[in-house]
Structure 1
Amino acid sequence: MQLGIRLHDTKKLPFEERIANVHELGFACGHLAPGKVITEFPTTDEALTPGLAMYMKNVFAKNQVDVAVLGCYLNLANPNSEQLAKITHRYMAHIRFASWLGCGVVGSETGAPNETYTAVPECHGEEALQTFITNLRPVVKYAEQMGVVMAIEPVWKHIVYNPARARRVLDEINSPNLQIILDPVNLLDHCNYKDQVAIVDEAIDLLGEDVAMVHLKDFIPEDGKLRSVGCGLGQMDYTSVLKFMKERKPFIHATLEDTTPENNVQVKNFIQGLYDNL
């Protein structure tokens, strides 16, 4: 695997210095959320020009860091038509930018049927799913036109909350430009985490062929919830996902999540050690 990190979990530095630091720490790729990483110049839709993309591409290349994911984690099920139009516009700006920057995928979670992106029981209903699929279609069509892969990330609290639901979205959209970001911990909640092995195995079985990249983190059950932490600091069993990556996904991008500048090397060494020893 090509192990990387969520760039906004690294030490706060000017953009060029931050990417150089990521290389020095031994990471091969990064998850880029521009607004969370870059402060010295704007990253609004109008700022995402070919020139900015090529400048950033050169910085990443000089430091031997791939952009595994260009993150655009906005709510495509927002019921406010004006807000939805702005969200759709931003997805398209990111897709266009990704085509110049040379990213692995443009990444997204799958939203909630409200303006506040709040987890509610309706997230798991059929109406919310159909709304999401309807609103995702033009975004994926634009990704096809720009030669970019859009990748959705199933999350228990969101609309696409389990592997079967993610499979439905893939089958209904039916596009080679729509794939999956597999984050095993995001499929878990306080009500199902004890079945984590079966859930991850189901995800691999139903979604494996369409997994474009992987997010790696850990979890600690706490006060009726799961708290996300860096790999090796909680109760996650990585056997299935690492075996899947090693056997079926050579050189796949995998980015760490919920690390800190203080523990990111420790976490990197832990998960790389597990992978190497499989």
Structure 2
Amino acid sequence: MRLGIFAKTFAGSDPGTVLAASKAAGFACVQYNMACSGLSAMPDALSAQDVAAVSAARKASGVAIAAVSGTYNMIHPDPAVRAKGLARLEVLLRNAAAMGTAMVTLCTGTRDAEDQWRHHHDNGSSEAWSDLMVEMDKACALAEPLGIKLGIEPELANVVNTAARARLLLDTLQSPALAVVLDPANLFEVATPADQRDLLSRSVDLLADRTLMAHAKDRDASGGFATAGKGVVDFPHFLGRLRAAGFDGDLVTHGLAAEEAAGVAGYLGRVLADL
């Protein structure tokens, strides 16, 4: 597994600075965010210079672009907001290959109109699911001819909130563009060690055939997020199950401060070495 980090962990508004910092901290790849180019995370347009700068920084640093973040609220209650998000996603999809990546990551969304990462009681409704199927089908139609993967991530606050829901989405749409990003800390808040390991095992088994990236952040004992290796997530178990299932994709950490990055790279590297 190749170790990576969210590029936005590091300060900087040009890709060269951010990728150099990622390499110095011990990472071989990043999940890039256009904010690291001094742009909106979901820009309305990208110039040839914007795209070339990312590619040049990738080549100069030797740090690969594992994916580009393309998250917008895919089930926002306002269809006009969804349409604007889809148009911006298309911008990223059409430029992803030139930046050096074959994946753009998504947010399956929430009915919360203000925060795409906040739970809403209507997320479990049939209407929310139907809206997601329509929106995701549009995204797949854009991605498929370009050969770009769409990374979907089970996330408790979103409409795809379990591995089972992710599996249902994959089986319903049956698009070759869809891939899974699996983050153990997004699958539970508080669980006993035994229950956590069981949940992670079942999630890996259910999604292994479509999992192209794993994320590494942690949970503290009260259910809040924590830096990988400083919480309760059993990373040896999670990564061991991934490896046993044949996963050899990128392991990308996030939810940490820049000054913690080198330590996290060391921790995750040791876990992988011990497997």
Q: Secondary structure at the match of 2:108?
A: coil
Aligned length: 273
Residue in structure 2 matched with residue 200 of structure 1 by the alignment: 200
CA contact (8 A) 2:153 2:182 kept: yes
What is the match of residue 92 of structure 1? 90
The 3-state SS of whatever aligns with 1:189 is coil
Helix, strand or coil for the counterpart of 1:31? Answer: strand
1:123-202 maps to which residues of 2 (within 5 A)?
A: 123-190=123-190, 195-202=195-202
Contact 1:9 1:261 survives alignment (8 Å)? yes
| Unaligned residue ranges in structure 1 (runs of 5+) | none
Deviations 1:185-229 (A, max 9, x none): 11112478872111111111111000010100111133xxx2212
- SS of 2:219's equivalent? strand
- Separation of aligned partners in 2, 1:49 and 1:85: 21
Greater Cα shift, 247-256 or 157-166: 247-256
Q: CA separation of 1:93/1:258 partners in 2, compared to 1, >3 Å: closer, same or farther? A: same
CA distance in 2, matches of 1:157, 1:42: 23
Q: 2 CA distance for matches of 1:219 and 1:150?
A: 26
User: Residues 1-278 of structure 1: matches in 2 within 5 Å?
Assistant: 1-12=1-12, 14-35=14-35, 37-39=36-38, 45-116=43-114, 117=116, 118-190=118-190, 195-222=195-222, 226-249=223-246, 251-278=248-275
Letter in 2 for 1:112: T
User: Is this contact kept in 1: 2:154–2:166, CA < 8 A?
Assistant: yes
Instruction: State the secondary structure of the residue aligned to 1:263.
Output: helix
Q: Tell me how large the CA RMSD over aligned residues is.
A: 2.0
Distance 2:13 2:99 in 1: 21
> Displacement, 1:46?
4.6
Shift of 1:14: 4.1
Cα distance between partner residues in 2 of 1:192 and 1:69: 33
Q: 2: CA distance between counterparts of 1:218 and 1:128?
A: 28
TM-score, scaled to structure 1: 0.91
SS at match of 1:145: helix
Contact (CA 8 Å) 1:50, 1:100: kept in 2 or not? no
Does the 8 A contact of 1:185 with 1:218 survive in 2? yes
Unaligned runs of 5+ in 2: none
In 2, the alpha carbon distance for the partners of 1:191 and 1:246 equals: 23
Answer whether contact 1:109 1:154 (CA < 8 A) is retained: no
Q: CA deviation at 1:30?
A: 0.4
Residue 25 of structure 1 deviates from its aligned partner by: 1.9
Q: CA deviation at 1:247?
A: 3.6
- How far apart in 1 are the matches of 2:42 and 2:164? 35
Provide the secondary structure at the position in 2 that maps to 1:131: helix
Q: Give 1:134's aligned amino acid.
A: V
| Deviation by residue 1:64-106 (Cα, 9 ceiling, x = unmatched) | 1111120012101012122111011011111111132121410
Change (3 A) 1:77 1:3: same
Identity %: 23
